[in-house]
Structure 1
């Protein structure tokens, strides 16, 4: 029986492609981060949609410089073999100062096809 409810997994059980993206994103390594997306990938962040690698690359470059913050991987979940959630706790100089964000990944053949980031 599949009820599509996410189940908790350890952060080190996240697929390697997600870990590679998160590490690259946190270290502002745009070239490595963009390489894990499919050509027609979609990212949804802060109410905006970024379609395709060129738009995602611009988003990555902007988010790397917009605010200063620390980020901690607080938890991970898996819904099915293609859907994962990585919850991050951020503290920094952005409005509100602290937030927990859910990075919701959809994978396709070891690439990220869709990423939605929301509280």
Structure 2
């Protein structure tokens, strides 16, 4: 497996499916957000993994209502044609009040196959 070096890209140059997911997530549009994932996709957030559309939809609904926060896309990187990282700065009423999170995307067939969210 080749070792690809991540390089910074313009956040607007992220693949359309990632931008659609990020916009839907920010707007709390769970129905649209779920359509950006493969049927067998996994999301790992806060140490927990959610697999499949139903579990991902439940995670999206819960994360949209648990806290109030603002989210700003601050950086984007591409490792290879199917791996991207979108860094977001969040501020809100969650523990700590602010955090920078790395959304690590793996794409398959122009859909999100895997998303890992971590600091």
Instruction: Tell me if both proteins adopt one fold, taking TM over 0.5 as the criterion.
Output: yes
Where in structure 1 do 4 or more consecutive aligned residues deviate above 6 Å? none
Structure 2, unpaired ranges of 5+ = none
SS in 2 for 1:4: coil
CA RMSD, aligned part only?
Answer: 0.7
Structure 1, unpaired ranges of 5+ = none
1:40-72 superposed Cα distances (whole Å, 9 cap, x missing partner): 000000000001111000000000000000000
Q: Distance in 2 between matches of 1:96 and 1:110?
A: 35
TM-score, normalised via structure 1 length: 0.97
Q: Distance in 2 between matches of 1:16 and 1:85?
A: 14
Q: Distance in 2 between matches of 1:3 and 1:112?
A: 21
Partner of 1:11: 11
Equivalent positions of 1:106-117 (< 5 A) are: 106-117=106-117
Q: Distance in 2 between matches of 1:3 and 1:110?
A: 22
Q: Distance in 2 between matches of 1:114 and 1:5?
A: 19
**Offset of 1:3 from its aligned partner?**
3.2
**Offset of 1:5 from its aligned partner?**
1.9
Q: Distance in 2 between matches of 1:108 and 1:3?
A: 19
TM-score, normalised via structure 2 length: 0.97
SS in 1 for 2:94: coil
